[in-house]
Structure 1
Amino acid sequence: MRALIYLRVSTDKQAVKGLSIPAQKERCLQYAKEQNYTIDEESDIYVDAGESARTSNRPQFQILWQRCRTDRAVEAVIFYDISRLARNRIDFALVKDDLAKRGIKICSATEGIDSSSSGQLLEGVLSTVAEFFSVQSGEKIRSGMGQKVKDGWWATRAPYGYKNVQERVTTGKTRAWIEVDWVEAKWVIKIFELFATGNYSTKSLAKHLQEKGFPVRKHSRSSGKLHASTIERILRNKFYIGIVNWGGITSEKCNHELFLDTQLFDKVQAILDARLGGASRNRRLFSILKSVSYCECCGSKMTAEEQTTSNGNTIRYLRSLKAKHGERVLCGQKYVHEDVYLQQFDELLKKIELPDSFVEKLRARVKTLFADEQTVYEKARQDILNRIADIKRRKKNLVLQLIDTDKAKQSDVELYESVKADLDSDEQRLTNELTNAESKIAGVVRTIEIAISLAANCHYAFQKAKEPALQALLAQTLFKRLDMRDGQIVRAVLNEPLDYICYNRLKKYPVFDLASSGGPGGTRTRVSAMFPISTNL
C-alpha cells in the first residue's frame, strides 16, 4: 500500500520543542511501517519549512494534494498530528473530504485517529483544539506586535529601503531591529524625486525604473516585475518620515533612521491627492478639474476617460460617475471633451484675478483695520501676563510660608500641595490663553494675505504651472466645487475667504455662487466684517 508523508514546521521554535522535521519524519516512517504502508523516502515525503497551517496555500502541500488527485496508487497521507496538516476546521474538513472521495485515508501518527465513531469524535475535537491554539497564538502575537509598534519599532518585514537585522543576546533570546539598506534606499529616494517632477504616473514610473534595473525583492510569490501598486505603496508609506502604521495602530515614536526628506514626501502626497481626488486607490485617469468637479444633474463626482478614434487620436472626456455613496443613480449627463471645460475654467480665473490697484487698496485696508485690533489684543495680552505674574508671586509666598513653619504638620503639607496644584493649573490655562491671543490675529492676517495673493495672480499662476498636477492643486486651492452639465460649468463655489474678498468683482457673474453671510467666529466672519459686501474699494 502506497502512502505519502507530509511534514511541516512554521518556526525555529517548533524545532526546539521537538517538532523538528527529522523528529516528525522518524515518527511518521515508524507509523507507516506499523501499518504496512510503502514509503519511498526520495519521492513520497513532502516538507514545508516556515509555512503556517492556517492556510492550505503551502507549496509542498499543494504538490502533495495534486499528486493525490492524479496518482491512483496513493492510499493514505500520513502526518505527525492534525495541527501539522491544518489549524482551521474548515480547511481540515475540505482536505479530508476531497481525499476521502478519492479513497485516500488521512492518518495521524501520534493521535490514534481511525474511522470508528470514537475516532471521528477524537478527530473533530483535535481539529477544534488545533484551531483554538492557532487563534490564541495569533492573538498573543498580534498583541505583542501591537505593543512593539506603539513603542516605535517595526513589527514585521522591513519596508523597501530598510532591512531586518537580528542578534542573539546572552540570555538566548533574539534581539531584532531594522536598519537602512542603502542599496534599496537610493532607489526609494529616486522614486520620490522622479514622481515629484509630475512627469510620471505610478505605472509609467514602474516601467521606467524596471528598465533602469530596479532591484525587485524576491520572495515565494514574486514575479520579478515592478508593479504600479508597489510604487504607490512606497509613495504612500509614512514609515519613511517616521510614522509607523501597523494593524490599525499609529505611532510617531519611531526608532529607525530616516533618509527621506519630509518636504519631498509632502510634495508627492499633494500630487497623488490632486491626481486622485484624495483617493489613493482610484485608478481612473488624472484630470486637472476632477477633484473639484461635480455633475449638476445628479450630484455625482465627475471622472475622466479616454477614447481612441478610428484615425488613432486620443480624446479625453469628463463624465458623471452616476453614483453617490456607492449607489448607482440615474443621470442623463453627456460625455464632454475635457478641453471644453478647461477653456471655461480659464475664463473663470480671468474673472477672479484682481487688478493691482484693487489689491493695494485691500492690503491697505487690512493694515488699517488690524492695527486697531492689534491694540485690543495687546491689552488682553498684557492682562494675561499680569495674572500669570501674580500666580507666580503667590506660589513663591506659599513656599516661603511653609519653610517658615518650625514643624510643618501633615495637614499643612497637604494644603500646600492642593493650593499649589490649583495655582499650577491656573498658570497653565493662562499660558494657553496667551499663546492663542498671540497667534490668533497673526493667523488671520496670514490667511487673508495668502487669499489676496492668490486672487491677484491666479490666472497667471495657472498658465505658468506647466505640470498638470500643480494646476490641479491650484484648482483645489481656489475652488470648493464646480458643477457641470452638458458642456457648461453652471456653478462655481470659491473657497473661503476668497468668496468675500472677490465678492464685488464677481457678483455680476451668475455662475459664481457667492456666500452672503458668514457664521460666528473664524476667518470668514472677520473678512466679512472687514470687507462688507456693499463696500466698493
Structure 2
Amino acid sequence: MMDSMKGKNGSSKAVIYCRVSDTKQTTRGTGLHSQETRCREYASFRGHDVVQVFADDASGGLINRPGMQAMLSFLRQNRRQPHVVIIDDISRLARGIQAHLELRAAISKAGGILESPTLEFGEDSDSQLIENLLASVSQHQRQKNGEQTLNRMRARALNGYWVFHAPVGYKYERVSGQGKVLLPDEPCASILREALEGYACERFSTQAEVKRFLEAQPEFPKTPRGEVTNQRVNDFLTQPLYAGYLELPKWDVSFRPAKHEGLISLETFKTIQNRLNGTARVPARKDISQDFPLRGFVLCGCCGTPLTANWSKGKAAHYPYYLCRQKDCAAKGKSIRRELVEEEFEALLKALRPSAELFEWASSLFRDLWEQRAKTMKEQGKSVKAELSQIERKIAQLMDRLMEADSESVIRAYEKRIGDLETDRMIIRERIEKCGTPLATYEETFEHSMTFLANPWKIWENGSIEHRQTVLKLAFADQLAYDRESGFRTPEISLPFKMLEDICSGNLEMAHPRGFEPLASAFGAGLMAFPNCATEYARAR
C-alpha cells in the first residue's frame, strides 16, 4: 500500500483537513492557519508530499460540510493512488461519536488513510478503543460547551441584555462594563418608530398599511424583491424589544425591562397589542394607487357605494375614470372623468386652509395649552403614584390567593391576571419617571400637525400615496359622496377644521368677569362677538 502511495520523488501523497467551529474563527482568528502549519510540519517529518488542503468553518456535529465533501470527492477521484489524510486533532474531524464513525468509514472507503500528529490510528482493538474514547470525550466537550454557552446567554438575558442578532432598527456596540449593548441604528430606528407609533394611534389602520409604509422607505431593509413580508411586519409589532423590554418564554425569562433604549414607550407597545388582539379590520385595498388616490373614499351619490376606478382604452390613448359598479344602481357603469372628480376634491381641500391670522391665533392657543399642561404634569404624579400603590396591593392579594389555589385552571387565571398587572405596573413606573419631563418640545411635537392644519392641500399635492391616505383620514370625518350632476355633497370635516370653522364664523362670546349675566357698560357691549378672531384674541390677552 505504501508503495502505491509514493510519488515520483518517492514521497507519499497527502491532503490536509482543517476545521473551525464558525466563520468568526476564520476572520478574527488564526485557527485554520495554525492547524495547517502543524499538519505540514508532521507531513514533512513523515515524508509526505502535501498536494491539497481542505478546510471548513462548521460545527463538529455536522457531517455534510463543504470542505469535507470536497476532500472525499478528491479521494474518490484519485482512488488508484491512495492519499494520507492528515488532521491536527481528532476533534477536528468531528465532535460527535456518530459523526466521527461515519466520516472515518467514508474516508477509508474513498481510499484515504487517516493520520494525526496527536494520535496514531490503527485497526486493532486497543487503537480503536482509544480512538472511540477520544471521540466520545470530544463529543462531551462540545455538548458541555453548548450548555455553558446557553447558561451564560440565559443569565445575561435575565440581567436585561439581548443575546441574539440585533433586530432591525438596532445595532450592537460595546459599552464599558456591560459588553455589547443594543443601540438605535439610524435611519432604520426612526422609520420603525414612526411605523409603530403610527399603528398605535391608528394613522395606519391595518398591518398592510404599515407594510406599505415601510416598503416606501428607501433606507429600510427589504427582501431581494423589494418587499417587507407580512410576517416581518407582525414581528415588529409584537417585539417588546422596541419598547425597551425583553421576554424569552423558552428560557423561562419573564417580561422585564431591558438595558437598551426603547424606540417607543411601553404604553404605546401595549396599545399596539390591544389593537392586534382586538376586532379584525377590513384589509387595506390593494388597488389604491397613485393613479386613483380617491378610489374607495369617494362614494356614489346614488347608492352610497365606494366608487372604483379604471383606465379605459380610447382611439389614441388610455383615459382614467371613476365609476360605480353596484348592481341596481342608476349610475352603474357610468364613468366620471378622473380630472373632474379630483379637481373638485382639490377645491374642497384648498378651502380647508385657514387664514394666516387664524392659524397664528390657533398656534398661539396651542402653545399656551402646551405650557399649561407641562406645569400640571408634576402635580399628576401624586395620582399616578396612588394608582401604582393600588396595583401593587392587587398583585399582593392575587399572590396570596395563588398560593392557596389547587385548581390548574384557577392557577393559570391568577398567573395571567398577575402578568397583566405587572405590565400595568411597569407602564405606570415609566409614567412616573417621565412625569414633568415632556418627551419633546412644542415645536417637535406639533411640527407636522401645524403643517397639516396650515395647508392640507400642500401635503396632498406633494405627498406619496401613503401621505394622501393620511390626509383623507385627518381632514374628513367621513367618506365623501359625489353626485354626477351636482358634484361633491357637503363634506363632514374633521374636528380640528370644524373648530377653526366655528371660530371663524364668530360663534364665540367674551365671558364677563362676573359671569354670563347682561354686560355692564364698563365691560363694553361692542366686544360681544369676534368679527376677527386673531385680533380679538390678541386684545383679550
TM-score bucket of the superposed structures, by smaller chain: 0.3 to 0.5
- TM-score after normalising by structure 1: 0.42
Between structure 1 and structure 2, the one with the greater Rg is 2
